[in-house]
Structure 1
Amino acid sequence: MNPEAGLIGMKWAKFKARVDHIIHPHKKENIHNPEIVFQKGDILVVRHAQSGNNVDWQALVQHPKLTEKGKAQAKAMGKLLKKNKVKFDLVVTSGSTRAEQTAVIIMQELEQTVPMVVERNFRERNVGVNIDKLGEKAREVQEKFSQWKHSLSDDVRWDAVPNNVKGLDLSNFETERQTAERFQKALRKLQEEHPGKSILVISHAYTMTAGLAALSQAIPDSQGSVFQHVSNTGYFTVRSKHIVGENTSFQIVHSNTKGTQVFEKGK
Protein backbone atom coordinates (compact mmCIF):
# COMPACT_ATOMS: atom_id res chain seq x y z
CA MET A 1 0.00 0.00 0.00
CA ASN A 2 1.24 3.45 -0.87
CA PRO A 3 1.84 5.32 2.46
CA GLU A 4 1.15 8.65 0.77
CA ALA A 5 -2.21 7.41 -0.54
CA GLY A 6 -3.10 6.19 2.94
CA LEU A 7 -2.23 9.57 4.43
CA ILE A 8 -4.30 11.38 1.81
CA GLY A 9 -7.19 9.04 2.54
CA MET A 10 -7.01 9.80 6.26
CA LYS A 11 -6.87 13.54 5.61
CA TRP A 12 -9.85 13.29 3.26
CA ALA A 13 -11.85 11.33 5.84
CA LYS A 14 -11.15 13.96 8.49
CA PHE A 15 -12.01 16.78 6.07
CA LYS A 16 -15.26 15.06 5.04
CA ALA A 17 -16.23 14.51 8.68
CA ARG A 18 -15.54 18.18 9.46
CA VAL A 19 -17.65 19.39 6.52
CA ASP A 20 -20.46 17.02 7.50
CA HIS A 21 -20.38 18.40 11.04
CA ILE A 22 -20.65 21.98 9.75
CA ILE A 23 -23.54 21.15 7.43
CA HIS A 24 -25.30 18.87 9.92
CA PRO A 25 -24.18 20.04 13.38
CA HIS A 26 -27.02 18.17 15.08
CA LYS A 27 -26.78 14.98 13.03
CA LYS A 28 -24.91 12.75 15.47
CA GLU A 29 -27.17 11.54 18.25
CA ASN A 30 -26.67 8.92 20.93
CA ILE A 31 -30.19 7.69 21.64
CA HIS A 32 -29.55 4.52 23.64
CA ASN A 33 -26.98 6.01 26.01
CA PRO A 34 -27.39 9.77 25.65
CA GLU A 35 -24.90 12.17 27.14
CA ILE A 36 -25.75 15.85 27.35
CA VAL A 37 -23.15 18.41 26.27
CA PHE A 38 -23.65 21.35 28.61
CA GLN A 39 -21.45 23.87 30.38
CA LYS A 40 -21.96 26.91 32.57
CA GLY A 41 -23.74 29.66 30.63
CA ASP A 42 -25.38 27.34 28.09
CA ILE A 43 -29.11 27.19 27.31
CA LEU A 44 -30.73 23.76 27.10
CA VAL A 45 -33.93 23.84 25.04
CA VAL A 46 -36.24 20.87 25.67
CA ARG A 47 -39.55 20.04 24.06
CA HIS A 48 -42.36 19.38 26.54
CA ALA A 49 -43.18 15.75 27.31
CA GLN A 50 -46.12 13.92 25.71
CA SER A 51 -49.47 15.67 26.12
CA GLY A 52 -53.00 14.65 25.22
CA ASN A 53 -52.72 16.46 21.89
CA ASN A 54 -49.73 14.31 20.94
CA VAL A 55 -51.82 11.18 21.36
CA ASP A 56 -54.97 12.25 19.52
CA TRP A 57 -54.24 14.70 16.70
CA GLN A 58 -57.87 14.79 15.63
CA ALA A 59 -59.14 16.09 18.98
CA LEU A 60 -56.81 18.96 19.79
CA VAL A 61 -57.44 21.23 22.77
CA GLN A 62 -55.80 24.55 23.55
CA HIS A 63 -54.18 23.64 26.88
CA PRO A 64 -53.54 19.88 27.01
CA LYS A 65 -51.97 18.28 30.07
CA LEU A 66 -49.26 15.65 30.17
CA THR A 67 -50.25 12.02 29.78
CA GLU A 68 -48.91 9.38 32.16
CA LYS A 69 -46.31 8.52 29.55
CA GLY A 70 -45.45 12.21 29.32
CA LYS A 71 -44.85 12.38 33.06
CA ALA A 72 -42.56 9.37 32.77
CA GLN A 73 -40.69 11.05 29.91
CA ALA A 74 -40.17 14.20 31.97
CA LYS A 75 -38.88 12.12 34.90
CA ALA A 76 -36.50 10.30 32.57
CA MET A 77 -35.23 13.65 31.29
CA GLY A 78 -34.63 14.80 34.85
CA LYS A 79 -32.71 11.62 35.63
CA LEU A 80 -30.61 12.07 32.49
CA LEU A 81 -29.72 15.63 33.47
CA LYS A 82 -28.89 14.52 37.01
CA LYS A 83 -26.67 11.72 35.67
CA ASN A 84 -24.80 14.31 33.61
CA LYS A 85 -24.55 16.61 36.66
CA VAL A 86 -26.29 19.50 34.90
CA LYS A 87 -27.20 22.43 37.13
CA PHE A 88 -29.47 25.33 36.21
CA ASP A 89 -29.78 28.89 37.50
CA LEU A 90 -33.10 29.58 35.81
CA VAL A 91 -36.03 27.74 34.20
CA VAL A 92 -38.01 29.35 31.38
CA THR A 93 -41.25 27.99 29.95
CA SER A 94 -43.59 29.08 27.19
CA GLY A 95 -46.38 29.47 29.73
CA SER A 96 -48.40 26.50 28.47
CA THR A 97 -49.65 23.89 30.94
CA ARG A 98 -47.72 21.05 29.31
CA ALA A 99 -44.49 23.06 29.33
CA GLU A 100 -44.84 24.04 32.98
CA GLN A 101 -45.69 20.48 34.02
CA THR A 102 -42.62 19.21 32.20
CA ALA A 103 -40.39 21.80 33.85
CA VAL A 104 -41.68 21.05 37.35
CA ILE A 105 -41.17 17.29 37.01
CA ILE A 106 -37.66 17.70 35.58
CA MET A 107 -36.59 20.03 38.38
CA GLN A 108 -38.10 17.73 41.01
CA GLU A 109 -35.99 14.88 39.66
CA LEU A 110 -32.94 17.15 39.68
CA GLU A 111 -33.73 18.22 43.25
CA GLN A 112 -32.96 21.80 42.29
CA THR A 113 -34.97 24.86 43.29
CA VAL A 114 -34.46 27.83 40.98
CA PRO A 115 -36.64 30.70 39.70
CA MET A 116 -39.10 29.84 36.93
CA VAL A 117 -40.30 32.50 34.50
CA VAL A 118 -42.47 32.65 31.39
CA GLU A 119 -41.21 33.81 27.99
CA ARG A 120 -44.03 33.80 25.46
CA ASN A 121 -41.66 33.86 22.50
CA PHE A 122 -40.94 30.20 23.22
CA ARG A 123 -44.63 29.35 22.69
CA GLU A 124 -45.75 26.97 19.97
CA ARG A 125 -46.04 28.24 16.44
CA ASN A 126 -49.33 30.03 15.80
CA VAL A 127 -51.35 28.18 13.16
CA GLY A 128 -54.39 30.41 13.43
CA VAL A 129 -57.72 28.75 12.70
CA ASN A 130 -56.02 25.77 11.03
CA ILE A 131 -55.12 23.96 14.26
CA ASP A 132 -57.29 20.99 13.37
CA LYS A 133 -55.59 20.59 9.98
CA LEU A 134 -52.09 20.21 11.43
CA GLY A 135 -53.00 16.73 12.62
CA GLU A 136 -53.73 15.36 9.17
CA LYS A 137 -51.40 12.90 7.52
CA ALA A 138 -49.47 13.97 4.46
CA ARG A 139 -51.63 11.74 2.25
CA GLU A 140 -54.81 13.50 3.41
CA VAL A 141 -53.26 16.92 2.76
CA GLN A 142 -52.17 15.85 -0.72
CA GLU A 143 -55.72 14.75 -1.55
CA LYS A 144 -57.21 18.06 -0.37
CA PHE A 145 -54.60 20.33 -1.91
CA SER A 146 -53.51 18.52 -5.05
CA GLN A 147 -52.36 21.78 -6.69
CA TRP A 148 -49.69 22.22 -4.00
CA LYS A 149 -46.44 20.67 -5.20
CA HIS A 150 -44.83 18.73 -2.41
CA SER A 151 -43.08 15.52 -1.51
CA LEU A 152 -44.04 14.24 1.91
CA SER A 153 -43.88 10.74 3.33
CA ASP A 154 -46.93 9.65 5.31
CA ASP A 155 -45.00 9.32 8.56
CA VAL A 156 -44.51 13.08 8.96
CA ARG A 157 -46.95 15.89 9.67
CA TRP A 158 -47.09 18.71 7.17
CA ASP A 159 -45.69 22.00 8.32
CA ALA A 160 -45.71 24.57 5.55
CA VAL A 161 -47.67 27.60 4.43
CA PRO A 162 -48.49 27.01 0.76
CA ASN A 163 -49.16 30.07 -1.37
CA ASN A 164 -52.57 30.62 -3.00
CA VAL A 165 -54.05 27.33 -1.84
CA LYS A 166 -57.81 27.18 -1.49
CA GLY A 167 -59.16 25.83 1.77
CA LEU A 168 -56.66 27.42 4.16
CA ASP A 169 -57.20 30.58 6.16
CA LEU A 170 -53.72 32.06 6.47
CA SER A 171 -54.71 34.88 8.82
CA ASN A 172 -52.56 34.81 11.97
CA PHE A 173 -50.59 31.89 10.53
CA GLU A 174 -46.91 32.21 11.49
CA THR A 175 -44.38 31.22 8.90
CA GLU A 176 -41.35 29.16 9.87
CA ARG A 177 -39.18 32.24 9.39
CA GLN A 178 -41.34 34.34 11.74
CA THR A 179 -41.29 31.57 14.32
CA ALA A 180 -37.50 31.25 14.08
CA GLU A 181 -37.06 35.01 14.45
CA ARG A 182 -39.01 35.23 17.70
CA PHE A 183 -37.22 32.12 19.00
CA GLN A 184 -33.86 33.82 18.45
CA LYS A 185 -35.21 37.05 19.92
CA ALA A 186 -36.08 35.13 23.08
CA LEU A 187 -32.56 33.66 23.24
CA ARG A 188 -31.01 37.14 22.93
CA LYS A 189 -33.27 38.40 25.69
CA LEU A 190 -32.14 35.62 28.02
CA GLN A 191 -28.49 36.37 27.30
CA GLU A 192 -28.98 40.08 27.94
CA GLU A 193 -31.01 39.70 31.13
CA HIS A 194 -29.21 36.66 32.56
CA PRO A 195 -25.61 36.74 31.27
CA GLY A 196 -23.54 33.72 32.22
CA LYS A 197 -26.51 31.85 33.66
CA SER A 198 -27.25 28.22 32.89
CA ILE A 199 -30.84 28.07 31.66
CA LEU A 200 -33.41 25.35 30.99
CA VAL A 201 -36.04 26.29 28.39
CA ILE A 202 -39.17 24.21 27.84
CA SER A 203 -40.61 24.89 24.40
CA HIS A 204 -42.55 23.20 21.58
CA ALA A 205 -41.99 21.06 18.49
CA TYR A 206 -42.61 23.45 15.60
CA THR A 207 -40.94 26.36 17.36
CA MET A 208 -37.88 24.27 18.18
CA THR A 209 -37.75 22.88 14.65
CA ALA A 210 -37.73 26.39 13.19
CA GLY A 211 -35.19 27.57 15.75
CA LEU A 212 -32.91 24.60 15.15
CA ALA A 213 -33.03 25.18 11.40
CA ALA A 214 -32.23 28.88 11.81
CA LEU A 215 -29.34 28.32 14.21
CA SER A 216 -27.99 25.69 11.83
CA GLN A 217 -28.27 28.28 9.03
CA ALA A 218 -30.92 26.25 7.25
CA ILE A 219 -33.78 28.74 7.57
CA PRO A 220 -36.63 27.80 5.19
CA ASP A 221 -37.68 29.93 2.27
CA SER A 222 -41.10 31.53 1.82
CA GLN A 223 -42.56 28.29 0.48
CA GLY A 224 -41.95 26.51 3.77
CA SER A 225 -40.57 23.02 4.22
CA VAL A 226 -40.42 20.02 6.53
CA PHE A 227 -37.47 19.69 8.88
CA GLN A 228 -36.31 16.99 11.25
CA HIS A 229 -39.06 16.43 13.79
CA VAL A 230 -38.34 17.13 17.46
CA SER A 231 -39.92 14.39 19.59
CA ASN A 232 -41.28 14.87 23.10
CA THR A 233 -38.36 15.74 25.43
CA GLY A 234 -36.11 16.12 22.38
CA TYR A 235 -33.47 18.73 23.14
CA PHE A 236 -30.52 20.79 21.95
CA THR A 237 -27.86 22.87 23.67
CA VAL A 238 -27.38 26.49 22.62
CA ARG A 239 -24.15 28.38 23.30
CA SER A 240 -23.46 32.05 22.59
CA LYS A 241 -20.37 32.75 20.51
CA HIS A 242 -20.24 36.47 21.21
CA ILE A 243 -22.59 39.11 22.55
CA VAL A 244 -22.88 42.45 20.77
CA GLY A 245 -26.39 43.74 21.44
CA GLU A 246 -28.73 42.61 18.69
CA ASN A 247 -25.88 40.76 16.99
CA THR A 248 -25.64 38.03 19.61
CA SER A 249 -24.50 34.90 17.82
CA PHE A 250 -25.56 31.40 18.87
CA GLN A 251 -24.52 27.92 17.89
CA ILE A 252 -25.90 24.43 18.46
CA VAL A 253 -23.26 22.40 20.29
CA HIS A 254 -25.31 19.24 20.86
CA SER A 255 -28.73 17.82 20.11
CA ASN A 256 -30.86 14.73 20.52
CA THR A 257 -34.17 15.33 18.75
CA LYS A 258 -35.43 11.85 19.70
CA GLY A 259 -35.72 12.71 23.38
CA THR A 260 -35.78 10.31 26.31
CA GLN A 261 -36.93 6.78 25.55
CA VAL A 262 -39.80 5.52 27.69
CA PHE A 263 -41.39 2.14 27.02
CA GLU A 264 -44.88 1.34 28.25
CA LYS A 265 -45.52 -1.94 30.06
CA GLY A 266 -46.43 -4.82 27.81
CA LYS A 267 -44.89 -3.17 24.74
Structure 2
Amino acid sequence: MERLLVLVRHGQSEWNLKNLFTGWKDPDLTEQGVAEAKSAGEQLKDMKLEFDLAYTSVLQRAQKTLGLILEELGQQDLETIRDQALNERDYGDITGMNKDEAREKFGEEQVHIWRRSYDVPPPGGESLKMTSERVLPYYRAEILPQVLSGKRTIVAAHGNSLRSLIMDLEKLTPEQILKRELGTGTPIIYRLDEDGNVLSVEDLAG
Protein backbone atom coordinates (compact mmCIF):
# COMPACT_ATOMS: atom_id res chain seq x y z
CA MET A 1 0.00 0.00 0.00
CA GLU A 2 1.31 3.42 -0.96
CA ARG A 3 1.42 6.05 1.79
CA LEU A 4 1.80 9.34 -0.08
CA LEU A 5 2.09 12.82 1.43
CA VAL A 6 2.72 15.89 -0.72
CA LEU A 7 3.55 19.26 0.86
CA VAL A 8 3.43 22.49 -1.13
CA ARG A 9 4.04 26.05 -0.02
CA HIS A 10 1.59 28.57 -1.48
CA GLY A 11 2.55 30.54 -4.58
CA GLN A 12 3.95 34.04 -4.29
CA SER A 13 1.58 36.37 -2.44
CA GLU A 14 1.17 40.13 -2.79
CA TRP A 15 2.98 40.61 0.50
CA ASN A 16 5.82 38.26 -0.51
CA LEU A 17 6.30 40.56 -3.48
CA LYS A 18 6.34 43.65 -1.23
CA ASN A 19 8.81 41.97 1.19
CA LEU A 20 6.40 42.27 4.13
CA PHE A 21 6.05 40.03 7.20
CA THR A 22 2.74 38.34 6.40
CA GLY A 23 1.90 35.84 9.15
CA TRP A 24 -1.86 35.48 9.67
CA LYS A 25 -2.78 38.37 7.36
CA ASP A 26 -4.59 37.27 4.23
CA PRO A 27 -3.19 38.77 1.00
CA ASP A 28 -4.01 37.21 -2.34
CA LEU A 29 -1.67 35.50 -4.80
CA THR A 30 0.18 37.57 -7.38
CA GLU A 31 0.05 36.65 -11.08
CA GLN A 32 3.37 34.89 -10.53
CA GLY A 33 1.86 33.03 -7.55
CA VAL A 34 -1.03 31.83 -9.70
CA ALA A 35 1.43 30.64 -12.35
CA GLU A 36 3.52 28.84 -9.70
CA ALA A 37 0.46 27.02 -8.38
CA LYS A 38 -0.61 25.96 -11.88
CA SER A 39 2.91 24.78 -12.60
CA ALA A 40 2.87 22.69 -9.41
CA GLY A 41 -0.35 21.07 -10.60
CA GLU A 42 1.18 20.36 -14.00
CA GLN A 43 4.22 18.74 -12.38
CA LEU A 44 2.04 16.47 -10.27
CA LYS A 45 -0.14 15.65 -13.29
CA ASP A 46 2.96 14.72 -15.31
CA MET A 47 3.84 12.29 -12.50
CA LYS A 48 0.30 10.88 -12.73
CA LEU A 49 -0.36 11.68 -9.08
CA GLU A 50 -3.92 11.96 -7.81
CA PHE A 51 -5.17 12.56 -4.30
CA ASP A 52 -7.84 11.22 -1.96
CA LEU A 53 -7.75 14.09 0.54
CA ALA A 54 -6.43 17.65 0.86
CA TYR A 55 -5.57 19.91 3.79
CA THR A 56 -4.90 23.63 3.84
CA SER A 57 -4.89 26.61 6.19
CA VAL A 58 -7.66 29.16 6.62
CA LEU A 59 -5.67 31.73 4.59
CA GLN A 60 -6.59 32.38 0.98
CA ARG A 61 -3.06 32.22 -0.48
CA ALA A 62 -2.81 28.57 0.56
CA GLN A 63 -6.41 27.76 -0.36
CA LYS A 64 -6.11 29.31 -3.82
CA THR A 65 -2.81 27.53 -4.45
CA LEU A 66 -4.47 24.22 -3.57
CA GLY A 67 -7.48 25.04 -5.74
CA LEU A 68 -5.30 25.79 -8.78
CA ILE A 69 -3.31 22.59 -8.27
CA LEU A 70 -6.47 20.50 -8.03
CA GLU A 71 -7.88 22.23 -11.11
CA GLU A 72 -4.83 21.16 -13.11
CA LEU A 73 -5.35 17.61 -11.83
CA GLY A 74 -9.07 17.65 -12.65
CA GLN A 75 -9.83 17.11 -8.95
CA GLN A 76 -11.68 20.34 -8.13
CA ASP A 77 -14.20 18.44 -5.98
CA LEU A 78 -11.64 16.72 -3.78
CA GLU A 79 -12.51 16.63 -0.08
CA THR A 80 -10.59 19.53 1.49
CA ILE A 81 -10.13 20.25 5.19
CA ARG A 82 -9.17 23.79 6.26
CA ASP A 83 -7.69 24.41 9.68
CA GLN A 84 -5.85 27.33 11.28
CA ALA A 85 -3.42 24.84 12.82
CA LEU A 86 -1.75 24.94 9.38
CA ASN A 87 -1.57 28.75 9.25
CA GLU A 88 1.70 30.56 8.78
CA ARG A 89 3.74 31.55 11.81
CA ASP A 90 2.22 34.60 13.52
CA TYR A 91 4.69 37.50 13.31
CA GLY A 92 2.89 39.49 15.99
CA ASP A 93 3.82 43.18 16.20
CA ILE A 94 5.99 43.11 13.07
CA THR A 95 3.20 41.73 10.86
CA GLY A 96 2.76 43.98 7.84
CA MET A 97 6.14 45.63 8.31
CA ASN A 98 8.61 45.76 5.43
CA LYS A 99 11.58 43.54 6.30
CA ASP A 100 14.10 46.26 5.40
CA GLU A 101 12.22 48.81 7.51
CA ALA A 102 12.16 46.34 10.40
CA ARG A 103 15.95 46.03 10.18
CA GLU A 104 16.28 49.82 10.31
CA LYS A 105 13.95 50.05 13.30
CA PHE A 106 15.11 47.09 15.39
CA GLY A 107 18.56 46.40 13.99
CA GLU A 108 19.81 43.75 11.57
CA GLU A 109 20.82 41.32 14.30
CA GLN A 110 17.51 41.46 16.18
CA VAL A 111 15.43 40.91 13.03
CA HIS A 112 17.72 38.05 12.02
CA ILE A 113 17.12 36.44 15.43
CA TRP A 114 13.35 36.78 15.07
CA ARG A 115 13.42 35.32 11.57
CA ARG A 116 16.03 32.62 11.97
CA SER A 117 16.17 31.52 15.58
CA TYR A 118 14.15 28.47 16.56
CA ASP A 119 12.68 29.62 19.85
CA VAL A 120 12.80 33.44 20.00
CA PRO A 121 9.44 34.94 18.92
CA PRO A 122 8.97 38.49 17.65
CA PRO A 123 6.96 40.67 20.08
CA GLY A 124 3.42 39.32 20.32
CA GLY A 125 4.14 36.57 17.80
CA GLU A 126 5.29 32.96 17.44
CA SER A 127 8.72 31.38 17.16
CA LEU A 128 9.18 28.39 14.87
CA LYS A 129 9.13 26.24 18.02
CA MET A 130 5.71 27.65 18.96
CA THR A 131 4.48 27.15 15.40
CA SER A 132 5.60 23.51 15.56
CA GLU A 133 3.75 23.04 18.85
CA ARG A 134 0.57 24.03 16.99
CA VAL A 135 1.21 22.20 13.71
CA LEU A 136 2.60 18.85 14.83
CA PRO A 137 -0.22 17.74 17.17
CA TYR A 138 -2.68 18.46 14.36
CA TYR A 139 -0.54 16.53 11.87
CA ARG A 140 -0.22 13.52 14.15
CA ALA A 141 -3.88 13.46 15.14
CA GLU A 142 -5.54 14.33 11.83
CA ILE A 143 -3.28 14.06 8.78
CA LEU A 144 -0.86 11.20 9.50
CA PRO A 145 -3.58 8.62 10.29
CA GLN A 146 -5.19 9.35 6.90
CA VAL A 147 -1.86 8.93 5.10
CA LEU A 148 -1.12 5.69 6.96
CA SER A 149 -4.56 4.36 6.00
CA GLY A 150 -3.53 4.70 2.35
CA LYS A 151 -5.19 8.01 1.50
CA ARG A 152 -2.97 9.97 -0.86
CA THR A 153 -2.85 13.37 0.80
CA ILE A 154 -1.76 16.87 -0.25
CA VAL A 155 -1.13 19.72 2.21
CA ALA A 156 -0.97 23.29 0.87
CA ALA A 157 0.29 25.61 3.57
CA HIS A 158 3.05 28.10 4.43
CA GLY A 159 6.81 28.33 4.79
CA ASN A 160 6.96 27.92 8.55
CA SER A 161 4.04 25.58 9.11
CA LEU A 162 5.60 23.32 6.48
CA ARG A 163 9.06 23.68 8.02
CA SER A 164 7.51 22.32 11.22
CA LEU A 165 6.31 19.24 9.33
CA ILE A 166 9.55 18.80 7.41
CA MET A 167 11.59 19.01 10.59
CA ASP A 168 9.52 16.19 12.06
CA LEU A 169 9.37 14.06 8.91
CA GLU A 170 13.07 14.33 8.10
CA LYS A 171 14.17 14.32 11.76
CA LEU A 172 16.12 17.57 11.36
CA THR A 173 17.66 19.64 14.13
CA PRO A 174 16.49 23.23 14.75
CA GLU A 175 19.72 24.43 13.09
CA GLN A 176 19.10 22.31 10.00
CA ILE A 177 15.46 23.32 9.51
CA LEU A 178 16.24 27.02 9.86
CA LYS A 179 18.57 26.74 6.86
CA ARG A 180 15.92 24.98 4.77
CA GLU A 181 14.49 27.27 2.09
CA LEU A 182 11.10 26.36 0.65
CA GLY A 183 10.29 27.63 -2.81
CA THR A 184 6.83 29.05 -3.45
CA GLY A 185 4.56 26.67 -5.34
CA THR A 186 7.02 23.76 -5.21
CA PRO A 187 5.71 20.29 -4.27
CA ILE A 188 7.72 18.01 -2.00
CA ILE A 189 6.69 14.36 -2.28
CA TYR A 190 7.07 11.97 0.65
CA ARG A 191 6.44 8.25 0.70
CA LEU A 192 6.09 6.84 4.20
CA ASP A 193 6.31 3.41 5.81
CA GLU A 194 3.60 1.92 8.03
CA ASP A 195 4.97 3.80 11.05
CA GLY A 196 5.07 7.19 9.34
CA ASN A 197 8.82 7.19 8.71
CA VAL A 198 10.07 8.61 5.42
CA LEU A 199 11.01 6.01 2.80
CA SER A 200 11.73 8.59 0.09
CA VAL A 201 11.50 12.32 -0.48
CA GLU A 202 11.46 14.16 -3.80
CA ASP A 203 11.61 17.96 -3.92
CA LEU A 204 10.34 19.07 -7.34
CA ALA A 205 12.40 22.26 -7.04
CA GLY A 206 15.25 20.02 -8.18
Q: Which has the higher helix share?
A: 2
Counterpart-to-counterpart distance in 1, 2:87 and 2:199: 20
Q: What SS does structure 2 have at the residue aligned with 1:44?
A: strand
**2 CA distance for matches of 1:127 and 1:254?**
29
Report the equivalent of 1:218.
Answer: 172
Report how far residue 239 of structure 1 moved.
3.7
Give, in whole Å, the separation in 1 of the partners of 2:20 and 2:107: 19
Between 1 and 2, higher relative CO (CA 8 Å, sep ≥ 6) is seen in 2
Aligned to 1:185: 137
In structure 2, the residue matched to 1:45 is 7
Aligned residues: 202
Counterpart position of 2:117: 160
User: Alpha-carbon deviation of 1:227?
Assistant: 1.9
Alignment of 1:234 onto 2:186:
yes
In the alignment, does 2:197 pair up with 1:250? yes
How do residues 60-75 of structure 1 correspond to structure 2 at under 5 angstroms? 62-75=25-38
Question: Contact 2:119–2:128 at 8 Å: present in 1 too?
Answer: no
How far the C-alpha of 1:56 sits from its partner, in A, is 0.4
Distance 2:80 2:56 in 1: 8
Per the alignment, residue 94 of structure 2 pairs with 130
How many Å apart are 1:193 and its aligned residue? 4.8
Specify whether residues 44 and 227 from structure 1 end up closer, same or farther in structure 2 by C-alpha distance, changes over 3 A only. same
Q: Distance in 2 between matches of 1:41 and 1:144?
A: 45
| Aligned residue runs from structure 1 range 41-120, under 5 A | 41-58=3-20, 62-112=25-75, 113-120=77-84
Between the aligned partners of 1:144 and 1:225, the Cα distance in structure 2 is 24
**Alpha-carbon spacing, 1:250–1:186, altered in 2? closer, same or farther (3 Å):** farther
Contact 2:5/2:154 (<8 A) preserved? yes
The amino acid across from 1:250 in the alignment is N
Report 1:23-38 matches (<5 A): none
Larger Rg: 1
Q: Quote the Cα distance in structure 2 between the aligned partners of 1:49 and 1:57.
A: 14
**1:136-181 CA distance string (max 9 Å, x none):** 25x9738834775x7x9xxxx9333676x9xx52x3x222223224
Distance 2:203 2:71 in 1: 22
* Preserved contact between residue 236 and residue 252 of structure 1 (Cα < 8 Å): no
SS in 2 for 1:158: helix
Identify if the C-alpha distance between structure 1 residues 253 and 92 changes in structure 2 by more than 3 Å, giving closer, same or farther.
Answer: same
TM-score by length of 1: 0.63
2:118–2:174 contact (8 Å) kept in structure 1: no
Contact 1:239–1:252 (8 Å) recurs in 2:
yes
Percent identical pairs in the alignment equals 23
Supply the distance in 1 between the matched residues of 2:188 and 2:96 (Cα, whole angstroms): 28
